[in-house]
Amino acid sequence: MAGSNEIKVNESKKVVPLNTWILISNFKLAYNMLRRPDGTFNRDLAEFLDRKVPPNTVPVDGVFSFDVVDRSTSLLNRIYRPSPSPETAADPQFGIIDLQNPLSTTEIVPVIIFFHGGSFAHSSANSAIYDTFCRRLVSICKAVVVSVNYRRSPENCYPSAYDDGWAALKWVHSRPWLRSGKDSKVFVYLAGDSSGGNIAHHVAHRAAESGVEVLGNILLHPMFGGQDRTESEKKLDGKYFVTIQDRDWYWRAYLPKGEDRDHPACNPFGPRGISLKGLTFPKSLVVVAGLDLVQDWQLAYVEGLKNAGQEVKLLFLKQATIGFYFLPNNDHFYSLMEEINSFVNPNC
């Protein structure tokens, strides 16, 4: 290990564009300030630092959004929709939200329930980076995106985020204005990056066990782990914005007191994992960034799905770092969007 006064060679600068490097490094340093060694979190400062944006009912670049509160859970969901094209809408009234009619009676419009990342502790549905990402998803996939503002750790640890995800899934299925297609049902996909990916998996698992339909899972470098230190963790520790130390902190903040990282929330195919064999688990698209130190756990997850007989596609982006999808200034972003588009619009 390097001496305490020596700065590790910062290789991340070589592999990402300058503005991406600035964005992610800024997060990294700000987050360092928010995590306290005693396991508490400076939530006030975190909220101050988080760049948030309001929804817009008047479409911008073909997308409009609005916030809805599910009164039974007081969960906030932000809905993003493509704005009606002038030809199809009889009388496009921008600013007035239609909460009655289905999205379409002829076409299938996928509804992607998105769980933002932030290692269970950071960010919100109205964080600028995630708002922007969801809007891009809508434009590219012609889907509706529902971004869930789940409760975060350390104030709300396991299983709050999963409960909130489950509540959101039920809520989405019960909205008549999210239905589409000739059969008039909600075509639901689950998606998430980092901790959001982890949430998507666990919500999908519960859905499979309860018979609630989820058509597909999209996991963007999902946050998994385990007690072992894998090769990728050792090799990439501190090199591309992320350290083992900070991963450990976030797991300690999310998992119940006294639990270790082999808890099934963290390690679903580990020694304490639950088998998915025989379950109607949704098909999965798992995206792994080749410079993410967590990749060995993500690859193990893919293997775990395969071993359980579940359909899974791996998109391995060799030179990608975490957060490559925040700014559309690199090839990986476009590969990702193409894959997601094909995944939710299989007949296009």
Partner 1 sequence: MDLYRSGSSSSCAGKAPDQIDGLLAGAGYRVRSSELRNVAQRLERLETVMVNAPSEISHLADEVVLHNPSDLASWVDSLLSELNQPVPVPDLSDLTYAESLDPTVNTGAWMEHHTAEQHREIPQVLTAVEEDSCIQLVHVLMTCAGSVQRGEFSLARALIDEMQGLLTRVNNRCGIGKVAGYFIDALSRRLFSPQGSGLIGSAYENEILYHHFYEASPYLKFAHFTANQAILEAFDGHDCVHVIDFNLMQGLQWPALIQALALRSGGPPLLRLTGIGPPSSDGRDSLREIGLRLAELAHSVNVQFAFRGVAASRLEDVKPWMLQVGPKEAVAINFIMQLHRLLVSAPTRGSPIEAVLGWIRNLNPKVMIVVEQEANHNQPEFLDRFTEALHYYSTTFDSLETCSTQPDKALAEIYIQREICNIVCCEGLARVERHEPLAKWRSRLRGAGFKPLHLGSNAFKQASMLLTLFSAEGYCVEEDGGCLTLGWHSRPLIAASAWQAIPEPNPPLGLVDPYNNVV
Q: Which residues are part of the catalytic machinery?
A: 194
User: Shortest gap between Cβ of 323 and partner 1 (angstroms)?
Assistant: 10
Instruction: Give the span between the Cα atoms of 168 and 75, in whole angstroms.
Output: 8
Given candidates 75, 112, 129, 291, which one binds partner 1 under the rule CB under 8 A?
129
In 3D, which of 212, 208, 190, 186 has the Cα closest to residue 199?
190
Contact status: 29 vs partner 1 (CB under 8 A) = yes
Q: What span, in angstroms and rounded, lies between the C-alpha atoms of 166 and 264?
A: 17
Q: Does position 48 bind partner 1 by CB under 8 A? A: yes
| Closer to partner 1 by Cβ: residue 138 or 305 | 138
Cβ 30 to partner 1, closest distance in Å? Answer: 8
Q: State yes or no: residue 244 binds partner 1 (CB under 8 A).
A: no
Q: Does 68 bind partner 1 (CB under 8 A)?
A: no
How many angstroms separate the CA atoms of 113 and 65, rounded? 14
Binding mask 307-346 for partner 1 (x = CB under 8 A): -------------------xxxxxx--x--xx--x-----
Number of chain residues interacting with partner 1 (CB under 8 A): 52
Report DSSP letters for 83-149, one per residue. Answer: PPPTTT-SS--TT----SS-S-SSS--EEEEEE--STTTS--TTBHHHHHHHHHHHHHH--EEEEE-
* Least Cβ distance, residue 345 to partner 1 (angstroms): 12
* Least distance from partner 1 to the Cβ atom of residue 134, Å: 12
Amino acid identity for residue 142 in this structure: K
- Could you give the CA distance from residue 122 to residue 50 in angstroms, rounded to a whole number? 9
- How far apart, in whole angstroms, are the C-alpha atoms of residue 333 and residue 326? 8
51 binds partner 1 (CB under 8 A): yes
Task: Give the nearest distance from C-beta 48 to partner 1 in angstroms.
Answer: 7
Burial state string for 230-248 with b = 16 or more CB within 10 A and e = fewer than 16: bebbeebbbbbbbbbebbe
Q: Do 199 and 115 meet the contact criterion of CB atoms below 8 Å apart?
A: yes
54 near partner 1, rule: CB under 8 A: no
245 binds partner 1 (CB under 8 A): no
Asked if 15 touches partner 1 (CB under 8 A), the answer is yes
Provide the minimum distance between the beta carbon of 21 and partner 1 in the complex, in angstroms, as a whole number. Answer: 6
Distance CA 65, CA 82 (A): 9
Interface with partner 1, residue 36, by CB under 8 A: yes
Cα 125 from Cα 150, distance rounded (Å)? 8
CA 120 to chain centre: 10
User: Which is nearer to partner 1, 28 or 272 (by Cβ)?
Assistant: 28
| 21 binds partner 1, rule: CB under 8 A | yes
Q: What are the start-end ranges of the H helices in 276-330?
A: 295-307
Residues that bind partner 1 (CB under 8 A): 4-7, 9-10, 13-19, 21-23, 25-26, 28-30, 32-34, 36-37, 42, 45, 48-49, 51-53, 60-61, 127-129, 132, 136, 139-140, 326-331, 334, 337-338, 341
